[in-house]
Amino acid sequence: MWQDGFVDERVTELETAGEPSAFREIDTVETLKALADPTRMAILSALTRSPDLPVMSVKELAAKLGEPQTKLYRHVRQLEEAGLIKVAATRMVSGILEQRYQACQRNVRLSSTMLRENIDEAEVALQMMLDEFRDGVLAATLRESEERPVLILVETTFAPATAAELRRRLKEVHEWLDQQPEDPDGVLVNMMVGLYTDEPGRPTGSPA
């Protein structure tokens, strides 16, 4: 917990912190439920917003998100219990030990099996991710920069072989991205790629 007052700036890095992984696949309903909340998604986003994965206290998170500090403790605890964030450092504040948190991974992805078996929770989590991406696209669009967002939306009919080739190429891009090393001095990139197909003969856009 945090109290305003004297801060002992000696920060203790935890030996068990470890190096964050590049990706975390969400494959349990407990972890999925931890994502299915806008406040928890905002906390996780704040802790993965930059390549070097910031270490932040609950007070710092509250200031960044514009939320009451007391509101965040329960959400932070749930994210920690789900293994999505961890205590990476501690320091003394007015004689009270303050915990500082870091994301356990740089990106998350949802297991397709998890999506099928827990559709209600998956719908909420997916909506949170889409909202987060939408807000980022709009913010990037308003910035004075030549690097405008790239958006591609396609709804068309391909031959089955062409659809299979498109899926294969997207998987190749995904695998290539997995192999790229992190660059703390590089450019922060946010990307969302999605693909689904309908059954042959079914009207485009109909539920599968």
**Mind giving me the DSSP string for 137-191?**
HHHHHHSS-S-------------HHHHHHHHHHHHHHHHHHHHSPP-TTS-----
Same domain membership, residue 132 and residue 199 = no
Q: Which of 176, 207, 197, 185 is nearest to 22 (CA)?
A: 176
Residue with tokens 């990307």: 191
Query: What CATH number did the domain enclosing 47 receive?
Result: 1.10.10.10
Same domain membership, residue 125 and residue 207 = no
Q: Both ends of the chain: CA-CA distance in Å?
A: 48
pLDDT at 93: 80
Same domain membership, residue 29 and residue 101 = yes
pLDDT at 67: 94
Residue that is last in its domain, among 127, 148, 169: 148
Residue that is last in its domain, among 124, 148, 172: 148
Print the domain residue range for 41: 1-148
Q: Which residues contact 49 (CB under 8 A, 6 or more apart)?
A: 188
pLDDT at 205: 44
Same domain membership, residue 28 and residue 67 = yes
Same domain membership, residue 22 and residue 123 = yes
What is this structure's pTM?
A: 0.64
Same domain membership, residue 158 and residue 137 = no
Those residues of the chain that have pLDDT short of 70 are 1-18, 51, 184, 199-208
The backbone torsions φ and ψ at residue 47, rounded to the nearest 5 degrees and listed phi first, read -90, 0
pLDDT at 204: 45
Same domain membership, residue 142 and residue 159 = no
Q: Count structural domains, the chain.
A: 2
pLDDT at 200: 57
Residue that is last in its domain, among 126, 148, 170: 148
Same domain membership, residue 99 and residue 184 = no
Same domain membership, residue 30 and residue 120 = yes
Same domain membership, residue 204 and residue 122 = no
pLDDT at 1: 30
pLDDT at 6: 38
Same domain membership, residue 103 and residue 198 = no
Same domain membership, residue 13 and residue 73 = yes
